[in-house]
Structure formats: C-alpha cells, structure tokens
Chains A and B, each alone.
Chain A
Amino acid sequence: MKKGRSSKHLADGLNFIILPVVFCVLILFLSLGALYPCFKEFSEMSRSYFNSEDISIDPDCHDIFVPVEESSAVKEESVHEEKTVLDIKPKEQKNIPLSSVTYPYYGQRLGEVIIEDCQIYTALYFGDGNYELNNGVGMYSGGYIPGYGKTVMIAGHNNTAFNGFKYAQKGQKVIIRTYYGTYTYEITDIQVKQSTDSSAYDFSLNYENLIMYTCYPFDELNLTPYRCFVYAKLISGPVIDKNN
C-alpha cells in the first residue's frame, strides 16, 4: 500500500517536469508554425545580415612590400653603406612567372612610388579607399598591377602624396618599386579633365601604361570636379609572364 502511494507521489512529481516540457514543445511548435512565413523570410535575409563565421582581422596583413633588391641582391652587398632608394639598383629580372606573383588584396601595401623631380616619395597601396589614400597613394583595384602589360591606374590626394604633381613635366622618371620587381616609367603627357570624363583612361589597352591622377587645382581650399591626369609609359621592369 505504502509502495503504491510513493509511486503515485513520484508520478505526480514527474508531472511537474514532464507536462511543462511537453507544453513548451507544443507552444514553440505552434508559434513557429504560425510564424513560419516570417521566419523563412528572416532566415533568408539573415544570411546577408550575419556572418557565418567570426571575422578575424590581422593587423599585419596590410604590408606585403619587401623590395626585391633588399630581399635578394642588396642583402648580399655591404649593409653598412648608406644608400638612397634610387641608388639601389634593381636585380636584373626580365620575366616573372604569373604563378610566382601573389596578387595583392584590397588595402595591402604593395610598394612605393618615387618621382624625384616632383619630390614624390610615397607608399603604394592596392585599392583607392580612404585608408589607402590617407597613407599614401592607391592603385585602382579594377586596373592592372605593374608588369602585367596593361593599364595601371594610381590615385593620390593633391594636398598630400601627389601634391608634387604641380611640378610634373614630360620626360620625368617615375619609379614604382613592388614586392616582385622595380618598374621605371617616363611621363608622356599631363592633362586636366573632369572627374567624370571616362576618356581619361582606357583599360582595354594591350600595352603597359601608367595613369596617375589627383584633384586639380593644387593647394586650394576646395573639393573640385577636376582631375590632373599624368600619363607615363614603361621604360623598364620585369614582365609578368601570363603564359607561365
């Protein structure tokens, strides 16, 4: 008799756990069923509102620039001797297999731009957003990288990195040092055009050409719709072998 009563107590006690759990499952099932159309829409939208993984930002990923000369040829020379950037002679390198060039990604520093006659010595980044232009000059990511045999386009601010373009003249040398080679260009033309003028550049050209541009006029307090375009042709530098 006692045993029967205690098992009834146990069953009674379990009801206080089992029944709420069963009810809870039913409540959630009914709620989800009723709201399914909304949930379905939300679950599809949530893919764009939420990342599937945690984002890890590596603060060191911005700089991949190690000059070719320093990493190979120059290291073998005396390191005690003081040298300017232009004193360092690039290692002779005519062709680079495409497979050996790691394509930079947006925001990475891939080299530097030196135009001695214009007193321009600045870092070169891949991409032309605020970060890149605040820290140097930016290569348009829709263009090509030096050595690829196509149009390379670089932008910079007229009050900082590219302020020296006010001294630009035809025939001046432009040196672009990257992590895979050093390129020398010669300025061929300087033009002022509207920022919206798409005739200022041509990415379909099949020869290496460099276009650098900045706001115009210089040293003025304004946000101008004009741009100063500086065009240059390749003189020397390793060619990226696209067939390799």
Chain B
Amino acid sequence: MSDSGKRFNFKSVVYGFLSFILGFLLFLLSVCLVLKFTFFSKDFMLESMANSGYYEMTKDELCDELQDLGHASGLPDEFFDDFVRGLDMVEIERTYISAFYTGSSELVDTDKFKQSLIDAVNVYIDENNIDNKKADENSILHFVNEASSIYVKTVKIPFFEVLAKYIKNVDTPLTVAVIGIAAAVLAVAAIIFFTNRYKHRRYRYLTYGLGAGFLSVAVVPIVVYSSGIIPKINLATRSLYNLFVGYFNSLFMYFWIFAGILLFLSVIGFVVYRQKYLKAIGR
C-alpha cells in the first residue's frame, strides 16, 4: 500500500471514530433534553394531568371513596356529590405538584379540607334538623379524620415523593450536562468539518454521526413500544393509570421528535454529500 493509501485509511479510522463520538454525544444530548423537557418539568406533569382528564377522574374517585365512608357514617351520597363538587381539584393538584418541584415541605393541605368538611356536615345537620344526640362531636371528628386520610391518599401520586428528591437534586446538574454535551457536539462537528480538506468528506462523516444518533434515539421508543410494557403498568386507580400511560406516551413522543430531527439532518447531510461528491468527481 502506498503512503497516501495508508494515510487515507488512518484518516478514515480517525474520522469514523469522530463520527461515532458525534453519534454518541447526539444520543446523550437527546436523552438529556427529553428528560429535561419531561421528567424534570413541572409543566409537563401538569399538562399530562390535564390531557388525561386526571382532575375530573380524581374528583370522581374521591367522591366514590367518601360516599363509601358515608355509607358507614349515615351521610347520603348526595352530600358528598355537593361537597366534592365544591373542591378545586385543579388547584389542589397544582399545589401538590408544585411543592415537589420547588422543594416546599407542604404537600397536601388537609386543614382546609377538614374545615370545609366540618362546615358542610354542620350545614347538613342544621338543614335536616338532626338531633345533637345523633351527631356526636367526637364521632364526627373521627369521620372527618378518616375522610381527610382518603383525601390525602387520592391527591398523592405513588412513588412521586421518592422521585421528588432526585428531581430536586439532579435538575441543575442536568442543565449543566445539556450545555456541556451541546458544546462537545459542536466541537466534534467543527473538528470534522474544518479539518477535512474535501467538502464531500465533511458531510459524509457528519452524516454518519447524525445517522448513528438518529438510530440510537429511535431504538428507545421502538424497544419500549414493542415490549408493550406501558399499558401493563400496575396502578390502583383509573385516574393514575390514564395519567401515567399518557405521561409515558408523551415522554416517548419526545424521543420520536428528536429522532425525527436527527433523521432530517442526516438526510440533508447525505444530499449535500452527494452533490459535493458528484462535483468532486467531475460529473
């Protein structure tokens, strides 16, 4: 092999390696951005709640649970229909979710709920002329405390408290990581672009990297959807099930979006490469 041939092979290996690094960095950048826009975003969670009808379903479930308690307490279903209708579930859930993302210690405010319920029970007693002997204060307090624990259980999202500490601790390092990886992507792309003498080769190696990034990002949702794991998630209530199935579907939609962007860029890279290549060989 001639010297120029050896040099060409060595260069190919080096640029091939740089393409691989570019692909890896693009994959990491995409994953970090997906996490940043979804898992670490309060707005994404609130949007998923609104889109999955979580507020309305939670309200219905809370009403059903309280009605069950009412069957053991002598309160009719209609009482709880009216009471739960008066609760602003959107605001309650927003406060609960915000508490995690802002690091506040107040999770679910039960004082307001308890006071509203006591007031509603007192109004019911007055309206129905119920004898004081038949509405013992301690028993009503016992009922309100039970109702309050049902309320907390309904508002809370399982495992969210466990994940919240990661959300708080990892958010800032993740932002730094995104900036760092983005800078590295630009640096590697610049090396490939500016150190190649032939223009068509610049686009060839960039296209390799973009193609590898696209495939790596696209594999994630393909594997998840082909395993059919999302609809099999184990959750106790319809509202939570719909919320998390919607949440994960939206999260993987971001993977598709980033895969689409990388595919688009790699197609453009290939087209430009072909043009430059044909020009180089004199066609």
- Chain A interface residues toward B at CB < 8 A: 12, 15-17, 19-21, 23-24, 26-28, 30-31, 46, 48-54, 130, 133-134, 157-160, 215, 219-225
Contact check, A27 vs B212: say whether CB atoms are below 8 A apart. yes
Q: What is the CB-to-nearest-CB distance from B158 to chain A, in angstroms, rounded to a whole number?
A: 10
Contact check, B27 vs A31: say whether CB atoms are below 8 A apart. yes
Selected from B204, B212, B234, the residue in CB contact (under 8 A) with A23 is B212
Contact check, B72 vs A221: say whether CB atoms are below 8 A apart. no
Q: Which residues of A contact B19 (CB under 8 A)?
A: 19, 23
Q: What is the CB-to-nearest-CB distance from B52 to chain A, in angstroms, rounded to a whole number?
A: 18
Q: What are 13 pairs between A and B in contact, CB < 8 Å? A: A19-B212, A23-B24, A24-B212, A27-B20, A27-B212, A50-B232, A51-B232, A134-B71, A219-B74, A221-B134, A223-B143, A224-B139, A224-B142
Q: List B54-98 residues whose CB lies under 8 Å from chain A.
A: 65, 68-69, 71-75
Contact check, B130 vs A221: say whether CB atoms are below 8 A apart. yes
Q: What is the CB-to-nearest-CB distance from A194 to chain B, in angstroms, rounded to a whole number?
A: 13
Q: What is the CB-to-nearest-CB distance from B129 to chain A, in angstroms, rounded to a whole number?
A: 12
Q: List B115-167 residues whose CB lies under 8 Å from chain A.
A: 121, 124-125, 130, 134-136, 139-140, 142-143, 146
Q: Is B207 an interface residue (CB 8 A)?
A: yes
Contact check, B71 vs A24: say whether CB atoms are below 8 A apart. no
Binds A, one of B100-108, B171-179, B214-222, B249-257: B214-222
Contact check, B234 vs A16: say whether CB atoms are below 8 A apart. no
Contact check, A20 vs B140: say whether CB atoms are below 8 A apart. no
Q: Which residues of B contact A222 (CB under 8 A)?
A: 73-74, 135-136, 139-140, 142-143
Q: List B28-71 residues whose CB lies under 8 Å from chain A.
A: 65, 68-69, 71
Given A23-B19, A221-B125, do A16 and B270 touch, yes or no (CB 8 Å)? yes
Among all A-B residue pairs, the 8 with the closest Cβ atoms: A222-B139, A20-B211, A23-B212, A223-B143, A24-B215, A130-B68, A20-B212, A221-B135
Contact check, B71 vs A221: say whether CB atoms are below 8 A apart. no
Q: Which residues of A contact B216 (CB under 8 A)?
A: 23-24, 27-28, 31
Q: What is the CB-to-nearest-CB distance from B113 to chain A, in angstroms, rounded to a whole number?
A: 16
Contact check, B23 vs A23: say whether CB atoms are below 8 A apart. yes
- Beyond the given A223-B69, A223-B146, please list 20 additional residue pairs across the A-B interface where CB-CB is below 8 A: A15-B204, A19-B19, A19-B211, A21-B215, A23-B209, A23-B212, A27-B216, A28-B219, A50-B229, A54-B232, A130-B65, A134-B68, A159-B72, A219-B134, A220-B134, A220-B139, A221-B73, A221-B121, A221-B139, A224-B139
Contact check, B20 vs A26: say whether CB atoms are below 8 A apart. yes
Q: How far is the CA of A48 from the CA of B74 in the complex (A)?
A: 38
Q: Which residues of B contact A23 (CB under 8 A)?
A: 19-20, 23-24, 208-209, 211-212, 215-216
Q: Which residues of B contact A28 (CB under 8 A)?
A: 216, 219
Contact check, A223 vs B139: say whether CB atoms are below 8 A apart. yes
